[in-house]
Structure 1
Amino acid sequence: MAGHEFFEPADRKRPVAEPTATDPLAASEARPSCDPAFRHGVVVGFDGSTSSERALAYAVGMAHRSGSGLIIVHVANRLPTTVWAGCEPPVFVDVPDHRTEVLGLELACADHLSEVPWILVERGGDICHELEEVGREYEADAIVVGSTHGIAGRIFGSVAGRLTKRARRPVIVIP
């Protein structure tokens, strides 16, 4: 069974702590429960680029061989408000990103995804943090990402490089 599900970016889903709660940190860290069919699945970062398409193809094969689900993660853009208003301090805002909807429709029509159950998760924020967070939430067996071949990756550091240094689960980088 193939399908997709759109989630709101992570920073919009944080519940407000109840005044009667004994542990406010526990309430703020609470997340909606994940579909058990995707526990111990394979997380893959996907943005529609050529390298992310290769990573997706590898992740589909990996999920198919292990009999698990595929969690496709698209991290939406977030920009500092200083870009927009030129004021201090830098606060991050969500930029409307309709790319997730377009990617979801493209993925729904993809023949190679019919081999495994999959969902599409949208998040907002730092790509490395969000991929690791989704991996933690779903207790993923691995995170698959494509390598960066651009100048931005050389200047700011690639997502794959940063993720391999901080992740607490196996990271597979597809060239």
Structure 2
Amino acid sequence: MAGYELPEPADRKRPVADRSAPSGSAEESCSPQDPVFRHGIVVGFDGSTSAERALAYAVGMAVRGGCGLIIVHVANRLPTTVWAGCEPPALVDVPDHRTEVLGLELACADYLADVPWVLLERGGDICHELEEVGREYAADAIVVGSTHGLLGRLFGTVSGRLVRRAQRPVVVIP
């Protein structure tokens, strides 16, 4: 899903997407051509503590820069080899309701009331998807939280891989 519209609480100060535009898909209402989100701040968000800190920092950047916030949740996609032992590296869509839950939590968050934002769900490699969204929206920066733990030490962290390959500034929040 390229865009994600959330039901709006009655006390919301600014809309998530422009409701005055003719009714269409969420993709059309928050497209990369929308001037509010063009040159915005992309932030990777999975609901973790480090992602919460990264989101708070990105909100400050967006407010100071007078731009929109593009929040990206990369959903789970499992290789088919996990399921059937097949050779081709195809991906299978696994239902991920976490994006819906995150969207509802974000819609109720007071700290997002001062900045226009949109939540996007993508599937695949986190680094690739964050950089792709950054390219689509001509983002000024990508903000991510740091990863700690054994898996990060073994396979490399998302933030470390993103810093090495990104074509725009990457801010890593501890």
TM-score bin (small chain): 0.7 to 0.9
Partners of 1:2 and 1:116 within 8 A in 2: no
- Structure 1 unaligned residues grouped into runs of 5+: 9-31
Which residue of the partner structure matches residue 95 of structure 1?
94
RMSD between aligned alpha carbons?
Answer: 1.9
Structure 2 length as normaliser, TM-score? Answer: 0.82
SS for the counterpart of 2:60 is helix
Which residue of the partner structure matches residue 21 of structure 2?
none
Which residue of the partner structure matches residue 10 of structure 2?
none
Partners of 1:78 and 1:92 within 8 A in 2: yes
Counterpart Cα distance in 2 of 1:33 and 1:67: 16
Counterpart Cα distance in 2 of 1:168 and 1:4: 27
1:86-109 CA deviation, whole Å, 9 max, x = no partner? 222232112111110000000000
TM superposition shift of 1:150? 1.7
Counterpart Cα distance in 1 of 2:47 and 2:17: 16
TM superposition shift of 1:7? 6.7
1:1-175 superposed matches below 5 A = 1-3=14-16, 34-175=33-174
Partners of 2:32 and 2:38 within 8 A in 1: no
Counterpart Cα distance in 1 of 2:140 and 2:32: 18
Structure 1 length as normaliser, TM-score? Answer: 0.82
Counterpart Cα distance in 2 of 1:33 and 1:138: 5
TM superposition shift of 1:4? 6.5
Partners of 1:43 and 1:135 within 8 A in 2: yes
SS for the counterpart of 2:81 is helix
Aligned residues: 152
Runs of 4+ in 1 over 4 A off after TM superposition: 4-8
SS for the counterpart of 2:144 is strand
TM superposition shift of 1:134? 0.3
